[in-house]
Amino acid sequence: MHVSDVLARVGGKWSILVIGTLGQGPLRFSELKRAVQGVSQRMLTLTLRGLERDGLIARTVTPSIPPRVDYALTDLGRSLLEPVAALGQWAIVHRAAVERARRLFDAQVPGAVQTP
C-alpha cells in the first residue's frame, strides 16, 4: 500500500464526498444518495463497497420491511476525515488563486483547449 493507492481509493470521484457526508453522522442508502448530489445509484453502491472493504465505513443491515441499511464511518474512516477536511479547506481557501492562475495560463497559451 502506497500513497498513490490511498489516492486511488480517495481519488474516486465520490469517495471523498461520501466520507465527508458521513462525517456528519450515519445515513441510510437513499439519504446518502440524496446528500451526495449527482451520484448515480451504481457509483454510490460501488463507492460504498470500496470504502467498506477498506474498513473506512461500516454497513449495518436491518432486515425489516422495507429493508434498511445504514452506513457510518468507522474509527479508521473518521481518522481519514481529518486530512481530507484539510484538503477541502485548502480548496476553499485557494480556489480563487487557482482560477486566476488558470485564466492567466489559458490567456497566455492560446493553443490550450480546455472547454471546447
Partner DNA sequence: CGGCATCCCTGGGGATACTG
Partner DNA sequence: CAGTATCCCCAGGGATGCCG
* # chain residues binding its own copies, by CB under 8 A: 46
Q: Give the 3-state DSSP-derived string for 55-95, with helices as H, strands as E and coil as C.
A: CCEEEEEECCCCCEEEEEECHHHHHHHHHHHHHHHHHHHHH
The one of its own copies, DNA, none whose footprint includes residue 34, by CB under 5 to 8 A per kind, is: none
DSSP label of 22: H
**Residue 84 within binding range of its own copies, rule CB under 8 A:** yes
CB of 11 to its own copies, least distance (A): 3
What span, in angstroms and rounded, lies between the C-alpha atoms of 21 and 101?
30
Q: How many of the other CB atoms lie within 10 Å of CB of 24?
A: 9
Placement of cell 482560477 in the chain: 99
> Binder to its own copies among 40, 45, 62, 100 (CB under 8 A)?
100
What span, in angstroms and rounded, lies between the C-alpha atoms of 64 and 44?
22
CB of 37 to its own copies, least distance (A): 11
Site for DNA in 1-30 (CB under 7 A): 12-14, 28-30
Footprint of DNA (CB under 7 A): 12-14, 28-31, 38-43, 45, 48-49, 59, 66-69
Q: Which residues bind its own copies (CB under 8 A)?
A: 1-8, 10-13, 16-17, 20, 52-56, 76, 79-80, 82-84, 86-92, 94-95, 97-102, 104-106, 112, 114
